[in-house]
A and B are shown apart, each in its own frame.
Chain A
Amino acid sequence: GQNIDQPTEMTATEGAIVQINCTYQTSGFNGLFWYQQHAGEAPTFLSYNVLDGLEEKGRFSSFLSRSKGYSYLLLKELQMKDSASYLCAVKDSNYQLIWGAGTKLIIKP
């Protein structure tokens, strides 16, 4: 079966750095997405990785290792508004998105 694993919940301090991991087992791979979802709101696109390595976009970076079936989302200089759920999703060989359950990130002052 296809599976995406990510931690259920993480806590971090304002101004710090946090890394949210995602491991996947899918039938094929056609890219990995990270989305942010604030409570009661729509998921919004954060990043897309299809090749190995690090993609940096401001305070957020996303890393991919296809050989290890592993990705992480790195958030720097955390702000209170970063409190949200972070969803990892992989497009399989049929270009269907397989979703993780999301990681709820709690930022404390």
Chain B
Amino acid sequence: ETGVTQTPRHLVMGMTNKKSLKCEQHLGHNAMYWYKQSAKKPLELMFVYNFKEQTENNSVPSRFSPECPNSSHLFLHLHTLQPEDSALYLCASSQEASGAPETQYFGPGTRLLVL
């Protein structure tokens, strides 16, 4: 059982489509993350939200747009994606405290295929 849920689990979209990925955490955490996972590559951190404020944006293309309306929900809006954006998109949450490296808990991911 996981305290982090993601929808949809699978998504196929064309390059001109607009879609959104949703993440919800039920753990009472104050930080949420979007990662991209491609085959045989390290997890790539895309965005970090801490107390609903975006604190990291690792040079992610503007065709990815995050939204964090509250500390429990996180969205990733997608538009005009490229085939190389096909990957597993993972959401995670953690309880961040000053100076403490807290464990991240992951959702099951959305498997995205861009045609």
Contacts and interface: CB of A to CB of B under 8 A. Distances in A.
A4 B106 contact: no
Given A87-B43, A99-B42, A101-B40, A33 B106 contact: no
Contacts of A11: none
Nearest to B35: A99
Given A42-B4, A42-B90, A43-B90, A101 B105 contact: no
B109 to A, nearest CB: 6
| Prevailing SS type, chain B contact patch | loop
Contacts of A35: 106
Interface residues on B, range: 10 to 19
Nearest to B10: A40
A8 interface: yes
Interface of B: 2, 4, 40-43, 45, 56, 90, 99, 101, 103-109, 111
18 contacts: A31-B101, A35-B106, A40-B108, A40-B111, A41-B108, A41-B109, A42-B90, A42-B108, A45-B103, A48-B101, A48-B103, A91-B101, A95-B99, A95-B101, A97-B104, A99-B43, A101-B40, A101-B42
Given A42-B108, A45-B105, A95-B99, 17 more contacts: A8-B40, A31-B101, A40-B108, A41-B108, A41-B109, A42-B107, A43-B90, A44-B106, A45-B104, A48-B101, A48-B103, A95-B101, A97-B43, A98-B42, A99-B42, A101-B40, A101-B42
